[in-house]
Structure 1
Amino acid sequence: MATSKVTYQGELRTVSVHLASGDKIITDAPIDNQGKGEAFSPTDLLATSLGNCMLTIVGIAAKSHDFSIDGATAEITKVMAQDPRRVSEIHVKLKFPEFNYSEKQRAIIERSAKTCPVSYSLHPDIKQELTFLY
């Protein structure tokens, strides 16, 4: 079964539907590439997916080791390159609540974040810069 369906709406906008849930995501081309920039661009979603994946995998690890990361955030910065236009770097700043994590818990957090499926799926030429704030 397909995962999603994407429909071009015109004016450099698409609507993606997650077929299992019906949830929708709108994308626009960015202002610096002929778009309106009124929604995530496709490359914004690529970069943001890395942060989503990292928090999800860390959440799974935390749950299995009986601690919480509830309230953790990921701040994403996407860096574009030209010729060809592409994502060249993704900076992820992971901020965790002040729960006084032990050294073991911090090691679990950092190892888990670095091994998320999106991280492994990105081309090795895309620099992934991670910062962990506790």
Structure 2
Amino acid sequence: MSTISTVYSGNLRTQATHNASGNTIITDAPTDNNGRGEAFSPSDLVCAALGSCMLTIMGIVAERNNIQLEGTTLEIKKIMAAEPRRIAEVVIGFNMPDSNTFTDKEKAILENAARTCPVALSLHPEIKQTVAFNY
């Protein structure tokens, strides 16, 4: 059985369904590529997947090491290249919770977890991943 089923709805829009849960995601082509830009573009989802994967793996490591990670947020900026049109760089800024003082060891554990998440390791090496941690 497949993990995801996707249908083209027309007008450069798709709807993907996660088969196990039934959750759906709609994508639109961005306005700078003939689309309406009314939803995530497919390349936006790649960037969102990278950030979510990093934070999820950090969460797994935090639970194992009794590190409080709740309240951590991140901001993502996608930078596109023109020729060929592709993601050139993903800039991610983590904002760690003010309520926690992290030791140098904890910072190293969390940052390594983020940088070695499955999505980060799956992206083409030409896609620059710029990651900053704000403690």
Large movers: runs of 4+ above 2 Å: none
Q: Deviation digits for residues 32-78 of structure 1, max 9, x if unmatched? A: 00000000000000011110000000000000001121111121100
Q: Partner residue of 2:115?
A: 114
Q: How many residues align?
A: 134
Q: Partner residue of 2:72?
A: 72
Q: TM-score, normalised by structure 2?
A: 0.97
Gaps of 5+ in 2: none
Q: CA deviation at 1:84?
A: 1.1
- Equivalent residue of 2:108, what SS? helix
Q: CA deviation at 1:82?
A: 1.3
The whole-number CA distance in structure 1 between the counterparts of 2:68 and 2:24 is 29
Q: Partner residue of 2:83?
A: 83
Q: Partner residue of 1:97?
A: 97
The whole-number CA distance in structure 2 between the counterparts of 1:74 and 1:28 is 23
Q: CA deviation at 1:83?
A: 1.6
User: 1:2-13 alignment to 2 at 5 Å?
Assistant: 2-13=2-13
**Residue 120 of structure 2 aligns to which amino acid in structure 1?**
S
Q: Partner residue of 2:49?
A: 49
Q: TM-score, normalised by structure 1?
A: 0.98
Q: Partner residue of 2:29?
A: 29
The whole-number CA distance in structure 1 between the counterparts of 2:115 and 2:83 is 29
**Residue 115 of structure 1 aligns to which amino acid in structure 2?**
T
Identity, % of aligned positions: 51
Gaps of 5+ in 1: none
- Equivalent residue of 1:40, what SS? coil
Aligned CA RMSD, in angstroms, stands at 0.6
